[in-house]
Amino acid sequence: MQELPQQAWHALPAQEVIKNLETDPQVGLQQEEATSRLDKFGRNLFTQKEGQSNLVLFLLQFHQPLIYILLAAAAITFFLKEYIDSSVIFGVVLVNAIIGYFQESKAKQAINALSKELKTEALVLRNGSKARMDAEELVPGDVVLLKSGDRVPADLRLLEVKNLKVDESALTGESLAVDKQAQQVDADTVLGDRVCLAFATTNVTFGTATGVVIATGDATEVGKISESIASAVDLETPLTKQISNFSQILLYAILALSVVCIIIGLVRGQSFTEIFMAAVALAVGAIPEGLPAAITIMLSLGVSNMA
């Protein structure tokens, strides 16, 4: 699907916006033209991104160096018939994986919920008549009428404003409703100060306005955010890097201590089986089984406190 050429709609006078979009604020688009634009620009919906399956998301919780060490310890203790120790270690790993899975699932659900924000109705001017229709049928150039309590159905350039206030907290983080106007602003004005625009998924808290659609679906500001989140590459944070480095150092230290333990035992004339079991006990005892779970829980609590 196509998108409108990039323009600083907020910096253009209302009449120039109307001219560029080839629409009429008194009549709106003709139905034939609206249908043609719908075929050209697509429906006013966010593109659903195919993410990782729940199974893959769960299995990825085990993809950590420290977890590898714990799983190896669980396997060794099980092989040595230390079933209680093996069960405890594996239980800790499993609990950590479950907690991590649910936390990442919540983030995934939040992104999916964002894609449903455009599913609302809008009062639109078509063929000179007002009509209420699904927001997904809106196209660039449609003239939309807003009133208190409405959810903005697409990115709009405001043409007429009467005491309009819009809650943009979900988009810009601004806690107070923003006063809107029809007068254009400077081209370099930041997103939160583009008061002649109304953005998709924000909410009208007071007043009325008439605006023309300048972007729909993925081309809206919130659509761009949704797309960037969905396509973001997983990056290592300083914390995960430190944990990974610590896990590697811990692994090398445990292996070194185990080798030293075996050498000392052999020098003292002890049996290899006895020495090996002692080395395994040392390795298992040195592994902090609760560390992954503790890190996951603390991060989860931190996120909950910030929410």
pLDDT at 270: 84
**Cα(121)–Cα(196) distance, rounded to whole angstroms?**
22
**Cα(286)–Cα(195) distance, rounded to whole angstroms?**
60
- What is the rounded average pLDDT for all residues in the chain? 83
pLDDT at 113: 62
* Mean pLDDT, residues 155-177: 91
pLDDT band at 154 (very low <50, low <70, confident <90, very high): very high
φ and ψ of 239, to 5 deg:
-65, -45
Taking a C-beta distance cutoff of 8 angstroms, is the pair 46, 118 a contact?
Answer: yes
* Mean pLDDT, residues 81-109: 78
* Mean pLDDT, residues 22-43: 93
> Which amino acid would we find at residue 226?
S
Does the pLDDT value for residue 227 go beyond 80? Answer: no
pLDDT at 2: 59
pLDDT at 236: 62
Cα–Cα distance list, 178 to 9, 154, 193, 230, 267 (Å): 18, 17, 9, 28, 79
pLDDT at 205: 95
What pTM was estimated for this model as a whole?
A: 0.64
* Mean pLDDT, residues 161-179: 90
Task: Give the least confident one: 252-256, 283-287, 297-301.
Answer: 297-301
Question: What percentage of the chain has pLDDT greater than the value 90?
Answer: 39
* Mean pLDDT, residues 211-236: 78
Architecture of domain 14-45+120-230: Distorted Sandwich (2.70)
pLDDT band at 150 (very low <50, low <70, confident <90, very high): very high
Where are the CATH 2.70.150.10 domain residues in the chain?
14-45+120-230
pLDDT at 50: 63
